[in-house]
Amino acid sequence: MATTAPLHVAVVGAGSWGTALAALASRGAPTLLWARDATLVKQLSADGRNPRYLPDIALPADLGYTSDLDHVVGHVCAAPQGLLILGVPVAGLGAACAALADRLGRAGRPDLPLVYTCKGFDAQSGALPHQIAAQALADHPGALTGVLSGPSFAREVAQGLPVALTIASAHDSVHRLATRALHGDRSRVYSSTDVIGVETGGAVKNIMAIACGVADALGLGHNARAALITRGLAEITRLGIALGARTETFAGLTGLGDLVLTATGDLSRNRRVGLALGSGRSLAEIQAEMSQVAEGVRCAPAVLALAGRHGVDMPITEAVCAVLFHGMAPAAAVEALLAREPRTEAPPARAAPPG
């Protein structure tokens, strides 16, 4: 009878999502959670809770903690199979990939998968996460990467509530190991090869969630929310196709699923930003009170610029940027959207396959 080789998992980044994924993975494999702050590691080890992000949730007793990246790499390389999950923001992805790939190369495991979870575009260049990772890994041709995304609030995952996720990669081994690490009784993991589509859906839905929060704060009703979600999905799909994604991806977990969750769920940071904006608060005031980044704010200008370069019409994104950065009143932005000329609702054309 065939046996499965042991698997070790490490999660780099002890924010709410990294902590939740480490808790999930530890139910099936020896798992180590890395935090930059050694003081936080001591608190995690002593209390079995993340005092900064999930203070009221007890983490699995066998989950390990460290602030040493060499310890992380030693842990995943100590088993025949290993998986590194990068729970870092877009701004830190390149540095994390390079630091880990360098250590994996020295350990003789350059093809150990690096799976990142960040959602967004680079604020300056507009690059997607896989492009950021590719640039950082240019000197490590054996590196294998993938993106984990889908409708998921970290708190619910840490609580052990049901969740469905998508792992997107060009490499079968990344699909296999990520699925093995995270698929279980209450978590389902689906595979995709459409990295661009999964990343685009995961990033742009945050902007649409801000718009829905604004509309809800203004008391525009469920009809308006449904319209924003539907037309928001059309914007996401148009941009994704222009970038080379597949149409069908946006009807799945990382398109419609993630958009609905983020636009309607009370745990959504981006929705909360929209609610506060619609209530008359300034962006500076809102951000000063937030302990975590709302990625929709960070990547909205990059998305709008990217849409302009590709000739993609994104009126909701444009309205959100006007409110966030150009002083437009939320009610005026809504009026501008409603005043647009009528048009035919037609599905975007399917992207041509690469030549």
- Which stretches of the chain drop beneath a pLDDT of 70? 1-3, 346-355
Cβ burial of 273 (10 Å; 0-12, 13-18, 19+) is buried
- Domains recognised in the chain with CATH numbers: 7-193 (3.40.50.720), 196-338 (1.10.1040.10)
Q: Is 205 designated active site? A: yes
- Find the catalytic residue in 119, 180, 205, 272: 205
**How far, in Å, CA of 328 to CA of 305, rounded?**
19
pLDDT value for 294: 86
pLDDT value for 2: 43
**How far, in Å, CA of 113 to CA of 295, rounded?**
25
* Residues 308-347 pLDDT 10s: 999 999 999 999 999 999 999 999 999 899 888 777 876 5
Amino acid in position 130: H
Give Cα separations from 201 to 158, 238, 332, 348, 351 (angstroms): 23, 11, 27, 15, 15
**How far, in Å, CA of 314 to CA of 312, rounded?**
6
pTM of the predicted protein model: 0.94
pLDDT value for 216: 97
Those residues whose C-beta lies under 8 Å from the C-beta of residue 88, and which sit 6 or more positions away, are 12, 13, 18, 96, 116, 118
Residue in the block written with tokens 């977990």 = 253
pLDDT value for 91: 92
**How far, in Å, CA of 213 to CA of 277, rounded?**
8
Amino acid in position 105: G
* Residues 238-260 pLDDT 10s: 999 999 999 999 999 999 999 99
pLDDT value for 354: 45
